[in-house]
């Protein structure tokens, strides 16, 4: 199977599973990822999503070799190609917008489509073996949907342009310093670090996290007035209508940890 899924204790993990190809993605594989993330985004039992890669790499991007291309009896029609591209573009949008935290757990090489998916996640945890490279210029391509937006948001305009145009690799240490990743750890500690973060988020106030993501996404594209108006509405709804907000207040008064249920 080209992807593996595991769900437990509120955490859903999607593992890219082509380790012999450094988890380079194919069209069929992208279809599976999109459909899986779409289902998870609306499943209330899932409170955190982790994206990982099997073996020694996270994802080397799109598989441009013959080994990764599906056999087709006839060429793809333009309307079919457009529908497929729309479905694939949904992957970074889901990782970025779904109403629950998303974590990219990065080991080894990450490039192209893999880097765009990782950049779309809320948190990126990488091991010191990680090496980041867009690789679009090397492949004569301009980049996957969302890449320009996410890299500009994370790195700033100047660094994003440098990464796209010069296509130089970036180490884990350089990625941390540039703001591309949020956590850097030793390779042998990577899985445990991701699991700890995922468990923390899955036990947290999911409805509040969803509102936080909407607010942060609005802040990236809107004005201060627009963002503050959205924050005011969201804060009122969360404070007045959710169990978790009420539970947090009770826990504070009773001097105990809150028990968040996610609604």
Cβ neighbours of residue 107 under 8 Å, at least 6 residues apart? 52, 53, 56, 57, 58, 126, 127, 129, 130, 187, 190
Check residue 150 and give its pLDDT.
95
Closest CA relative to residue 54, chosen from 82, 15, 20, 24: 15
**If you ran DSSP here, which 8-state letter would residue 257 be given?**
-
Closest CA relative to residue 163, chosen from 123, 116, 94, 117: 116
Check residue 55 and give its pLDDT.
96
Check residue 70 and give its pLDDT.
52
Report the SS3 class of residue 98: coil
Two tokens, residue 145: 């949907």
CA-to-CA distance for 193 and 64, rounded, in angstroms?
Answer: 32
Closest CA relative to residue 117, chosen from 256, 226, 23: 23
CA-to-CA distance for 195 and 12, rounded, in angstroms?
Answer: 11
Domain coordinates in residue numbering, the chain: 3-202, 206-253
CA-to-CA distance for 119 and 135, rounded, in angstroms?
Answer: 15
CA-to-CA distance for 254 and 243, rounded, in angstroms?
Answer: 16
User: To which CATH superfamily is domain 3-202 assigned?
Assistant: 2-enoyl-CoA Hydratase; Chain A, domain 1 (3.90.226.10)
Per-residue confidence in pLDDT tens, the chain, 263 aa: 899 999 999 999 999 999 999 999 999 999 999 999 999 999 999 999 999 999 999 999 999 885 545 555 566 676 666 666 677 789 999 999 999 999 999 999 999 999 999 999 999 999 999 999 998 888 888 888 899 999 999 999 999 999 999 999 999 999 999 999 999 999 999 999 999 999 999 999 999 999 999 999 999 888 999 999 989 988 888 878 888 888 888 889 899 999 998 88
Report the SS3 class of residue 142: coil
CA-to-CA separations, 263 to 58, 101, 206, 245, 246, in angstroms, rounded: 33, 15, 7, 9, 10
């Amino acid at each position: 199977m080209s992807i593996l899924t595991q769900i437990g204790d509120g955490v859903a993990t999607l593992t890219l599973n082509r380790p012999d190809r450094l988890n380079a993605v194919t069209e069929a594989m992208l279809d599976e990822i999109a459909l899986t993330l779409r289902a998870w985004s609306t499943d209330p039992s899932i409170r955190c999503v982790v994206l990982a890669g099997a073996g020694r790499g996270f994802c080397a991007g799109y598989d441009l070799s013959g080994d990764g291309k599906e056999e087709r009896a006839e060429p793809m029609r333009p309307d079919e190609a457009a529908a497929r591209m729309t479905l694939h573009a949904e992957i970074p949008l889901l990782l970025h917008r779904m109403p629950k935290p998303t974590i990219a757990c990065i080991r080894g090489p990450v490039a192209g489509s893999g880097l765009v998916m990782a950049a779309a996640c809320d948190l990126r945890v990488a091991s010191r073996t990680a090496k980041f490279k867009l690789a679009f210029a090397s492949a004569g391509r301009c980049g996957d949907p969302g890449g320009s937006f996410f890299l500009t948001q994370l790195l700033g305009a100047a660094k994003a342009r440098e990464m796209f145009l010069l296509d130089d690799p970036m180490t884990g240490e350089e990625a941390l310093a540039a703001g591309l990743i949020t956590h850097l750890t030793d390779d042998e500690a990577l899985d445990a670090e991701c699991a700890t973060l995922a468990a923390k988020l899955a036990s947290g106030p999911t409805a509040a996290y969803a509102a936080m993501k909407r607010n942060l996404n609005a802040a990236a594209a809107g004005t201060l007035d627009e963002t503050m108006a959205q924050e005011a509405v969201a804060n009122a709804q969360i404070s007045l209508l959710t169990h978790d907000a009420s539970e947090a207040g009770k826990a504070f008064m009773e001097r105990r940890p809150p028990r968040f249920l996610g609604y």
